Structure formats: structure tokens, C-alpha cells
Amino acid sequence: QKEVEQDPGPLSVPEGAIVSLNCTYSNSAFQYFMWYRQYSRKGPELLMYTYSSGNKEDGRFTAQVDKSSKYISLFIRDSQPSDSATYLCAMSGTGGSYIPTFGRGTSLIVHP
């Protein structure tokens, strides 16, 4: 079992839909949780960062962390074709290390 599990998709939705992206993890010591967005042929860029459990909102994006279930989510409201990308979850903070462990990414396609 991989430390971080993420469905690769692709997830195809119509423009304007609410998108839910998820990751599960096995190491309960993770403390820091991130979502990166990666456009095709580009490097990942940080989208959201959360410490421990709870919600964080930034514009159309909401990140949720449920440490008791070892489950994190990213919600995208009013999805746009420009949101089409691969979304990678990442987590860190075990054993004093802040190097993130990444999920394999979920490919999202928002069609007009």
C-alpha cells in the first residue's frame, strides 16, 4: 500500500460543476497537507496549504483535512476549462522532515 493514494482519473466534468478531488493516506504522523496543480508539460505549482485538520478556503477552492479518517479533499466551485490540469495532493511533517510525499495526481478535464 502506497503512503498516499489518489485516483488518477481522468475526471471529466462540465463547466460550472463542483469538483471534488480526494486523497487518502496511511501515515497518521503527517501534519501538513498541500494541493498542487500541474498543467500539461509544466511544473507543479502550490494551490492550497493546510496545517492539521480543518477547512481552508481561497476563492473557488476549498481544502479539507480529516486526520481521523486520514482523508483530504479539494473542492473547486464553478469549475472553468482553465482548471483542466492534474491535481496532486502532498503531505509532510513526519519525523521532522518537511519533504512532501506526493500522490500520483488526478487528471481533471472541465469541458465547456
Partner 1 sequence: DTAVSQTPKYLVTQMGNDKSIKCEQNLGHDTMYWYKQDSKKFLKIMFSYNNKELIINETVPNRFSPKSPDKAHLNLHINSLELGDSAVYFCASSQDWTDKDTQYFGPGTRLTVL
Stretch that binds partner 1, among 21-29, 37-45, 54-62, 71-79 (CB under 8 A): 37-45
Should residue 41 be labelled a site residue for partner 1 when binding is judged by CB under 8 A? yes
Stretch that binds partner 1, among 10-18, 22-30, 73-81, 85-93 (CB under 8 A): 85-93
In the chain, where do the E strands start and end?
4-5, 11-14, 19-25, 32-38, 45-51, 54-58, 61-66, 71-76, 85-92, 101-102, 106-111
Should residue 95 be labelled a site residue for partner 1 when binding is judged by CB under 8 A? no
CA distances from 3 to 23, 45, 59, 111 (A): 10, 21, 30, 32
Should residue 77 be labelled a site residue for partner 1 when binding is judged by CB under 8 A? no
Cell numbers placing 65? 483535512
Should residue 30 be labelled a site residue for partner 1 when binding is judged by CB under 8 A? no
Q: Burial level of 75, CB count in 10 A (0-12/13-18/19+)?
A: middle
Should residue 104 be labelled a site residue for partner 1 when binding is judged by CB under 8 A? yes
Should residue 54 be labelled a site residue for partner 1 when binding is judged by CB under 8 A? no
Maximum pairwise Cα distance, the chain: 45
Task: Tell me the closest approach of the beta carbon of residue 78 to partner 1, in angstroms.
Answer: 25
| Site for partner 1, rule CB under 8 A | 8, 32, 34, 41-46, 49, 51, 86, 88, 92-93, 98-100, 102, 104-105
